[in-house]
């Protein structure tokens, strides 16, 4: 990790409590004119997050975060949106980590949706783990786009 991006990522990773990442092969994405994004998700954490997901989230967000049959962009009879996919086919990757954690903690704004609040039901560590699992569902391409969103969110 010599690049500035690498340093920022290291800081972010530690900040998220994902410290302890090992040196498993990571994917480097270097495209012309694009800074390389090093993808480092701790496989142990991702496995923990998968277990949290399968216990608490799968019933709504579907196997592997693929969502439910039907269009997640169409409101149901109550005027609420169905649970969206959390893989890279929908919207989750448009959000920086802090926002994903907030949605999980707080759920839908009161009365405006059907995402439960997990505050008090999951620990902060479990929420971070499940976010790591969600990120593991994204393709390298989408991860790279998310990375830019994350960087922008960290700018002062
Ligand atoms: C009872 C069904 C249900 C369960 C269980 C559930 N969700 Fe959701 N989730 C939703 C719905 C519905 C939305 C859309 C929220 C809205 O429209 O306000 C949502 C939205 C989200 C979003 C925002 C996605 C985006 O594209 O902006 C994230 C992230 C998320 N859920 C993660 C989780 C996680 C992690 C769990 C398990 C800990 C979980 N959800 C469990 C129904 C559920």
- Contact status, residue 149 vs residue 96, Cβ threshold 8 Å: yes
Higher-confidence residue of 46 and 109: namely 46
Tell me the pLDDT of the chain averaged across its residues.
82
Portion of the chain with pLDDT greater than 70, in percent: 77
Report, as an integer, the average pLDDT of 123-148: 96
Report, as an integer, the average pLDDT of 73-90: 94
Report, as an integer, the average pLDDT of 59-88: 95
Residue 2 alpha carbon to ligand 1 centre in Å: 36
146 CB-contact burial (10 Å; exposed 0-12 / middle 13-18 / buried 19+): buried
Q: Which single residue is written with the structure tokens 């949706």? A: 113
Which atom of ligand 1 is nearest to 80's Cα?
17
d(CA 137, CA 140): 9
Higher-confidence residue of 72 and 28: namely 72
Residue 83 alpha carbon to ligand 1 centre in Å: 6
d(CA 78, CA 41): 38
Q: Is the pLDDT of residue 4 over 50?
A: no
Residues with CB under 6 A from ligand 1: 56-57, 59-61, 81-84, 86, 90-92, 95, 100, 103-104, 108, 112-116, 118, 130
| pLDDT tens figures, 14-33 | 333 333 333 333 344 444 34
Q: Is the pLDDT of residue 41 over 60?
A: yes
Q: How far apart are the first and last CA of the chain?
A: 23
Report, as an integer, the average pLDDT of 123-140: 97
- Give the gyration radius of the chain's Cα atoms: 16
Residue 41 alpha carbon to ligand 1 centre in Å: 22
What pLDDT score does 9 carry?
44
Report, as an integer, the average pLDDT of 81-87: 96
Residue 125 alpha carbon to ligand 1 centre in Å: 18
């Amino acid at each position: 990790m010599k690049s500035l991006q690498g340093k920022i990522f290291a800081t972010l990773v530690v900040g998220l409590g994902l410290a302890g990442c090992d040196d498993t092969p990571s994917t480097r994405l270097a495209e012309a004119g694009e800074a390389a994004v090093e993808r480092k998700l701790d496989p142990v954490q991702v496995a923990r997050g998968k277990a949290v997901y399968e216990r608490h989230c799968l019933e709504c967000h579907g196997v592997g975060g693929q969502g439910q049959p039907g269009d997640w962009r169409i409101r149901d009879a109550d005027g609420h949106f169905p649970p969206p996919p959390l893989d890279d086919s929908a919207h989750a990757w448009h959000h920086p980590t802090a926002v994903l954690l907030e949605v999980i903690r707080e759920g839908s704004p009161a009365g405006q949706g059907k995402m439960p609040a997990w505050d008090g039901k999951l620990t902060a560590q479990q929420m971070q783990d499940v976010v790591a699992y969600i990120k593991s569902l994204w393709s390298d391409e989408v991860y790279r786009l998310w990375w830019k969103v994350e960087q922008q969110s960290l700018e002062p």
